[in-house]
């Protein structure tokens, strides 16, 4: 979900730099990055569960229970990805090889999607790896807000109950996940 939101908006913002679309996307992504995930989750609960009655508040037994936690996780991450994709693409569009593409008569669409975007993906792949590690390790706040049973809510319960062995296991798990994901990301650069 996050990739489906972030890539088109980040590319659009970079292509239309310093125009109305860019300003709107940057403003909305700034709001999204600034908004805490627990607050956005509770806002979704208030709108879609309490006011409209479309989705259940908590639980994990059907596909309807997945919608609000997914949107909550995707919101914060996609907004930071939009900002990063825009920054990297704007930087790449100012490189000399872009002038070479224009001099050879390469069209704008081809230049952006076959030259700028592939060169911009290294930074995005690194961010994806770090996000993937965080998602595998558990998302404490979202699991707590939506009453999901997962490793994040188990860690919160361990902190509340002063279960030091479980906290140490959680920290070890997170460390192993981040090392493994960083290794895979580094291998993918080759």
Record the pTM: 0.77
Q: Which residues contact 133 (CB under 8 A, 6 or more apart)?
A: 174, 177, 178, 180, 181, 182
d(CA 150, CA 138): 7
Q: SS3 of 55, please? A: coil
Classify residue 98 as exposed, middle or buried by CB count within 10 Å of its CB (0-12, 13-18, 19+): middle
The pair of three-digit structure tokens given for residue 72, joined into one six-digit string: 């909550």
What does pLDDT average to over the chain? 83
| Segment 84-113 mean pLDDT | 84
State the first-to-last Cα distance of the chain, in angstroms, to the nearest integer. Answer: 27
**Predicted confidence (pLDDT) per residue in 126-182, tens digit:** 788 777 766 765 577 787 788 777 777 788 888 888 888 988 988 888 888 888 888
Percentage helix, strand, coil, to 5, in the chain?
80, 0, 20
* Three-state secondary structure string covering 77-128: HHHHHHHHHHHHHHHHHCCHHHHHHHHCCCCHHHHHHHHHHHHHHHHHHHHH
């Amino acid at each position: 979900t996050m990739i489906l939101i972030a890539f088109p908006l980040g590319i659009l913002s970079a292509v239309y730099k310093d125009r109305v679309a860019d300003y709107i996307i940057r403003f909305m992504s700034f709001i999204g990055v600034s908004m805490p995930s627990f607050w956005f989750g509770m806002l979704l609960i208030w709108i879609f569960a309490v006011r409209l009655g479309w989705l259940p508040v908590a639980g994990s037994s059907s596909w309807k229970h997945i919608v609000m936690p997914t949107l909550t996780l995707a919101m914060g991450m996609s907004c930071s990805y939009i900002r990063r994709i825009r920054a990297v693409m704007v930087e790449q569009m100012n490189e000399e090889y872009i002038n070479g593409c224009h001099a050879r008569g390469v069209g704008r669409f081809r230049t952006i999607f076959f030259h700028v975007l592939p060169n911009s993906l290294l930074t995005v792949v690194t961010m994806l790896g770090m996000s993937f590690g965080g998602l595998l390790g558990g998302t404490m706040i979202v699991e707590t807000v939506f009453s999901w049973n997962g490793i994040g809510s188990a860690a919160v319960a361990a902190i509340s109950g002063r279960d030091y062995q479980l906290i140490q296991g959680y920290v070890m798990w997170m460390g192993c996940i981040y090392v493994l994901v960083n290794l895979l990301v580094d291998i993918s650069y080759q």
